[in-house]
Amino acid sequence: MNIRTQLDTIITQALANVGANEAPAVVKTSARPEFGDYQANGIMGAAKKLKMNPRELATKVVAELENNSEISLLVEKYEIAGPGFINIHLKNNWLADQVEQTLNSDNLAVKKSSTPETVVIDYSAPNLAKEMHVGHLRSTIIGDAISRVLEFLGHKVIRQNHVGDWGTQFGMLLTYMGELKKENAELEMQLSDLEKFYQAAKIRFDEDEAFATQARENVVKLQAGDAEFLKLWQQFIDTSLNHCDEIYQILNVKLKREDVAPESQYNDDLASVITDLDKAGLLSEDQGAQCVFLDEFKGKDDSIIPMIVQKSDGGYLYATTDLAALRYRHNQLGMTRGLYLVDARQSLHLKQVYVVGKKAGFLPETTSLEHMAFGTMMGKDGTPFKTRTGGTVKLIDLLNEAKLRAFDLVTSKNPDLDEASRREIANTVGIGAVKYADLSKNRTSDYIFNWDTMLSFEGNTAPYLQYAYARIQSIFRKAGEINSGAEIVLQEPAERLLATKLLQFSEAVDVVAKDGTPNFLCNYLFELSGNFMSFYEACPIMKADEATKQSRLKLAQLTANTLKTGLDLLGIDVMERM
């Protein structure tokens, strides 16, 4: 039940009925309470097209609406206001009825998509040569939330973790591994901190020419399928993936081993990508490299930006791999929609991949390919984020810090709880806060990393939503079961406000599915919690008379259900007490 869409459809039809064709009603939730629950803004635009007085047109539309039995079930009254807005007031008893129905429905009365798609979603994609750092947070968390939302709406979601496991840097790492093995060093110990391991290998690479030469040769050996190197490589990859899995588990991210679709997987397809591009007439040689030149990527001075798919030494590039992946996702996975949760800096690259992939016939023009970009992480001074040592902040360090700070807070709030419970609560709160801090922003541009805002537990944060949930659970511990036969009555303004907000859950979910913007859902849940908190202050439950108490318990119950479901779609847990 998406009220906004329903109103929009009916009012757009009403506009057509009075002669305004192809004029959208542009229904939105009202900007201010005195403007009703929803407002239609499209009348002025339609009137302009028809060269009519907008208020006159609005009058006609309202007359049309008043004759519509379907919409009359939910609308109390219409008001024509200002230059030609139609303000819509919903019926109290209809709202109450909808709350009751939503409470009794399976998934908060959210309708499954009528056109389910096979969505391939490419997210997280760490480089296995190094440990995951804070920059991987966005892709991992936003991708996971979008996946959950799409699944919730009945789409088939195929997660693809396009991990980097095949670049030239693995020659360096494997060579270093080989050295350590000969020295009988404790390899597992060394690999437990991948960041240090990488740096140590890098130093060898930079300082020792013989080592560097060996490293370059080993890449070739690896990619040619040398058994010894494959074994060594496999050991490294496994270790690194274990690190990732550990992070995913802490983050409550659904990515599993079977979702890993590494770059190496496409190794055998790369040659055929080149021949297929050639067959499609897209390939041309330039300075020894195989390139695709397209008019789409022409600069103002007519110079065309090439996409290089094969180096002059015969080696392939990530453009080649991405094209192979694109073809695989269409042919093998049946993708009808592709989402790429990738850094904004790769926007040109991905645009090229999409256009070339479609021109080459790797997938149909109709397949929607969407780059859901996000910006670079910056430090407080607005320059790219680095620690003092010059490296990036490890993700695991951020998560541990979150748990630590949350534990201190839980301990100060609830000193009597046993330590195990406090730990558990702290983990849920701490990780929730970190995830929410990132999910609640819609920044395609760069963003500032800040420990304190990332680890804040007050205001618009996950703990605020979790707190609302915990409060409701506390009420139910005291109130016992709801009388399911009780009637919901919306008497107080706070009750009505809460009920209306509760019924807008699917509006938020639909936007996230369409635009890939979990911050809409965050914002919705924050407002819902705010409405609940106000209701909680203004409308006592336990002290009210029995009928009112039951009615309010139902509102509280649906709030809890909505918070739990909504937070689960974001990959954030709730708890009974905190």
Closest by CA position to 155, among listed 509, 441, 434:
509
Instruction: Please report how close the Cβ of residue 253 comes to RNA at its closest, in angstroms.
Output: 20
Instruction: Please report how close the Cβ of residue 331 comes to RNA at its closest, in angstroms.
Output: 21
Q: Which is nearer to RNA, 93 or 127 (CB)?
A: 127
Q: Which is nearer to RNA, 49 or 181 (CB)?
A: 49
- What gap in Å lies between CA 5 and CA 528, rounded to an integer? 20
Q: Which is nearer to RNA, 254 or 423 (CB)?
A: 423
Q: Which is nearer to RNA, 364 or 480 (CB)?
A: 480
Closest by CA position to 356, among listed 295, 404, 300:
295
Task: State both tokens at 5.
Answer: 């869409």
Q: Which is nearer to RNA, 342 or 395 (CB)?
A: 342
User: Hey, which residues does 89 pair with through a beta bridge?
Assistant: 77
3-state SS class at 17? helix
DSSP string, 478-502: HH-S--TTPPP---SHHHHHHHHHH
Instruction: Please report how close the Cβ of residue 539 comes to RNA at its closest, in angstroms.
Output: 6
Instruction: Please report how close the Cβ of residue 438 comes to RNA at its closest, in angstroms.
Output: 10
Closest by CA position to 570, among listed 185, 266, 147:
147
Task: State both tokens at 559.
Answer: 């709030």
Instruction: Please report how close the Cβ of residue 242 comes to RNA at its closest, in angstroms.
Output: 20
Instruction: Please report how close the Cβ of residue 413 comes to RNA at its closest, in angstroms.
Output: 4
Instruction: Please report how close the Cβ of residue 32 comes to RNA at its closest, in angstroms.
Output: 6
Q: Which is nearer to RNA, 147 or 223 (CB)?
A: 223
Instruction: Decide: residue 304, CB within 10 A, 0-12 exposed, 13-18 middle, 19+ buried.
Output: middle
Report which residue type is found at 572: I
Task: State both tokens at 265.
Answer: 């997987």
Task: State both tokens at 50.
Answer: 């028809």
Instruction: Please report how close the Cβ of residue 206 comes to RNA at its closest, in angstroms.
Output: 16
Q: Which is nearer to RNA, 187 or 479 (CB)?
A: 479
- What gap in Å lies between CA 242 and CA 248, rounded to an integer? 10
First-last CA distance in the chain? 33
E strand segments, 327-452: 337-340, 368-371, 377-378, 447-448
Report which residue type is found at 390: G
- What gap in Å lies between CA 11 and CA 26, rounded to an integer? 9
Q: Which is nearer to RNA, 115 or 287 (CB)?
A: 287
